[in-house]
A and B are shown apart, each in its own frame.
Chain A
Amino acid sequence: MLKRSKLSAILDHAILILGALFMLVPLLMVLQITTMPDVEVIKHGPSFQIGDQFDDNLKKAMLEASGFSGENTGVNMLKNSFVLGIGFAVGKIVIGMMAAYAIVYFRLKFATLAFWVIFTTLLLPLEVRILPSYEIVQRLGMLNTYQGLIVPLIASATATFFFRQFFRSVPEELIEAARIDGAGPIKFFVDILVPLSQTMIAAMFIIMFVYGWNQYLWPTMITTEEGMFTLVRGIKQITQVMEGNRIPEYGRANVLAIIAIIPPVFVVIFFQSWFVKGLTESDK
């Protein structure tokens, strides 16, 4: 019995360690490359050697521009990515909550129909409507602007759906008590519904921030000025630069890749504690 459990413990751990390696090795490879001169990388590919170029690569990545205009430095791209990630998440949450509020709490004639119409837009992601969306943004003169980056993406069926489900679980009596307490629709929304939805908001923020942060196709289409590049699209730009006999700047691109990973990780860690707290402390 003892032997068998020992064996199974070894097996369990082997599986877990393999899984962990599977997740970690690519990250470690990226980290390793950031420490090497680009020449070494193109000669040998990833290796077990740890070089001394990390500081240089980091400086280059964050402060030196790779393009012509000198505006797409790492710092600038990081800023753009934050604007997109936060704008995207906040916009989706605000619009989703307000749409769900209208659908759930107001006696609209076509509320159910409206909801299902919103819901079916899940079948029409950005990629499907990218040409008309581009044309609209272009005609509105929003190319190369933050609005152009964010606004076409923030109408969200997902957020509307989740908030709708959540609002429907809020007890009817609470609304009635608020009505008798003299809270109008806006007060009820702000004073009661929003605080109650805290945990939902946190969950949505995690998902939407990461989703927005990782947007690639739309920013690639909409931003042609280097000063508007986001990290995810900027990395691609760096490895693409092959003027004459220059070597792609692998070290620099990989530093940016690491930096691009960090904020989503922190958002998940930070909001997760809220999220779990909200799930266990059910006081609705």
Chain B
Amino acid sequence: MAQVSLNSIRKVYPNGFEAVTPSSFDIKDGEFVVLVGPSGCGKSTLLRMIAGLEDITSGDLHIAGRQVNHVDPADRDIAMVFQNYALYPHMTVRRNIGYGLKNRKTPKAEIDRKVEEAAALLNLSDYLDRKPSQLSGGQRQRVAMGRAIVRDPALFLFDEPLSNLDAKLRNQMRIEIKALQKRLGVTSIYVTHDQVEAMTMADRIVVLNAGRIEQIGTPSEIYHSPASTFVASFMGAPPMNLVQAQFQDGAVRLPCGTAVLDAPTSRRGPITLGIRPEDVRLGQGQTAFDVHLVEELGAHRLLHGQIAGQPFTAHVVKDTIASPGAHVVDLPRAALALFDTQTGARL
């Protein structure tokens, strides 16, 4: 177990592209931190710098109190699970899991014992003498996990480990990984572009965009009080509704003129309003909502349409009957988030 600390970590590629702007955060012992963001946001680069697979341009990286900027990946006391499993195809499961130990000159008997232990933990005992090509995707993923846990590392790194699995298996592995991590208590950093994975697995989420940290917080903080329009629109499915509005005559008004919030008369200019689809009250208030499409999801329905000419989605429970056409909705004040239209930052 280890505390990880990033201090102004920055990555600039030789061609001048700044993949990660100076970023700092700390990870506590045993914490499960998820780095999430769209592709190209620098989350994998950040993870690879922590792993030592990518050079750190500037800044300090500490793992368990030791500065490891220039330490070889093998000596950082980390283990990594890769997106495509990266199992050695010509080795049996047993040798795959034990390879790292063998390279560290662990005695043969101890390797065997540890491999058996890890295999038992991951339900792989029956497959130890198979080759990776004879295993299913989920089993391969478990072997990759086994390779990580057998070494007892101070830190687990996961690079989109579930993106190659089908949806059902992904849900199951998500729970397994989380449970395993809690049981072993190993500090973990997990990279994903899937906000559902981030929400369900993380103790804390780091949202990245264009090489910059947008927000760090618990899943509930990130969901309920997004720090920017980017976080608001990236986290949550469907995402938060963002509607352009104006400060006018002592109120925040939608383009159609409806006042949704009081404001000091002195304020003028544009503003972006945010509201989660499930906070919208259908059939109350006086904001006109033109529904184009009803998405039936069993437990609930999503109404897609427009408010004041801007795309808008409302979430209603299954008992609420709704059909395409003109409706009214109420946007409760407590649920509204205000963002600066220019910078996207929360006000």
Contact = CB atoms under 8 A, between A and B. Distances in A.
Interface stretch (B32-40, B85-93, B252-260, B287-295): B85-93
A181 B82 contact: no
B73 interface: yes
A73 to B, nearest CB: 43
A127 interface: no
A179 B131 contact: no
B73 A284 contact: no
Interface string A180-219: 1111000100011001101000000000000000000000
Chain A interface main SS type: helix
A23 interface: no
B132 A179 contact: no
B86 A177 contact: yes
Interface stretch (A64-72, A168-176, A226-234, A265-273): A168-176
Contacts of B74: 179-183
B100 A171 contact: no
B79 interface: yes
Contact of A283 (B53, B99, B100, B131): B131
A281 interface: yes
Given A196-B89, A196-B90, A182 B84 contact: no
A162 to B, nearest CB: 19
Interface string A143-187: 000000000000000000000000000010110111111110001
B252 to A, nearest CB: 50
Contacts of A181: 74, 99-100, 103, 147
A283 B131 CA distance: 9
Interface string B136-160: 0000000000010000000000000
B132 A187 contact: no
Interface in A222-261: none
A182 B100 contact: yes
Interface in B59-84: 72-74, 78-80, 82-84
B49 to A, nearest CB: 13
B284 to A, nearest CB: 53
Contacts of B265: none
Contacts of B104: 182
Contacts of A182: 74, 100, 103-104
28 contacts: A173-B82, A173-B83, A173-B84, A174-B86, A176-B80, A176-B86, A177-B86, A177-B88, A177-B147, A178-B88, A179-B52, A179-B53, A179-B72, A179-B73, A180-B51, A180-B78, A180-B80, A181-B100, A181-B147, A182-B100, A182-B103, A183-B103, A187-B103, A191-B88, A192-B90, A196-B90, A283-B132, A284-B89
Interface of B: 51-53, 72-74, 78-80, 82-84, 86-91, 99-100, 103-104, 131-133, 147
Q: State the 3 A-B residue pairs at the shortest beta-carbon distance, nearest first.
A: A283-B133, A182-B74, A173-B86
Interface of A: 171, 173-174, 176-183, 187, 191-192, 195-196, 198, 281, 283-284
